[in-house]
A = this chain, B = another copy of it.
Amino acid sequence: MKKKSVIEKNSSTEEKIKEAARKVFTQKGYAATRTRDIAEEAGYNLALINYYFRSKEKLFDIICLENIQLFIPSVLGILNDPATTLQEKIEILVSNYIDMLMKNPELPLFILSEIHKDPMTLINKVWSNNIRHENAYIIKQWQEFMASGKGPSVNPVHIFINALSMMIFPFVAGPLLRNRTGMGKEAFNKLMEERKKLIPVWIGTMLNIR
């Protein structure tokens, strides 16, 4: 019984509508998306969207939640692994993160846009307390690194910002970058692939600048 309902949920109308909604919402944003667009993309009648999800807004909330959660699970295990060094953790994190972004290149701009239009609603709705990292092993390693005197002389927040910037921004500006440089999709992906190895090197250098 339970098994059957799970199977049904994962691969039929409801799921198809959700996938269609994810695609259209992510590309056009909430306001510019019409329920008709979603229904058409899913190949069903627009009445079904309300049958399954009550309203456009409730469907949007679900998509937001799932989109944002894509950012999280790949990270938690790595942060708490006592077997890897700080530098190794950075290498793994950067590589995983860029992988995820290459699979979902439109995600960052979608999330940042919707947060910008209504900052607290989305953040509080979704982030609640999904992330708890106080006891992560990486914190201990970081504190040891800073205490050793080998850390950066600048505010470390700068380097954290730089790491996020170098990973995420190319995807946020993807269409513009490709248009300006005349780069194709493949060339762009090749470049991002290279960055998996380069970004940890740059971060490492910044951490030791004094």
Contacts and interface: CB of A to CB of B under 8 A. Distances in A.
Interface of A: 27-32, 106, 109, 112-113, 115-117, 119, 123, 154-155, 157-158, 161-162, 164-166, 168-170, 172-173, 175-177, 179, 181, 191, 194-195, 198, 201-202, 205-206, 209
Contacts of A169: 161, 164-165, 168-169, 172
A112 B31 contact: no
Contacts of A176: 112, 115, 123
B28 A172 contact: no
Contact of A166 (B117, B154, B157, B165): B165
A20 to B, nearest CB: 17
A49 to B, nearest CB: 19
A106 B112 CA distance: 12
What are the nearest 9 A-B pairs in CB distance?
A31-B32, A165-B169, A31-B31, A165-B165, A169-B169, A119-B175, A113-B113, A165-B166, A162-B166
A125 to B, nearest CB: 13
A6 B5 CA distance: 70
Most B CB contacts (10 A, CB to CB) among A28, A32, A123, A169 go to A169
Contact of A32 (B117, B119, B155): B117
Given A30-B32, A32-B117, A165-B166, A202 B206 contact: yes
A166 B164 contact: no
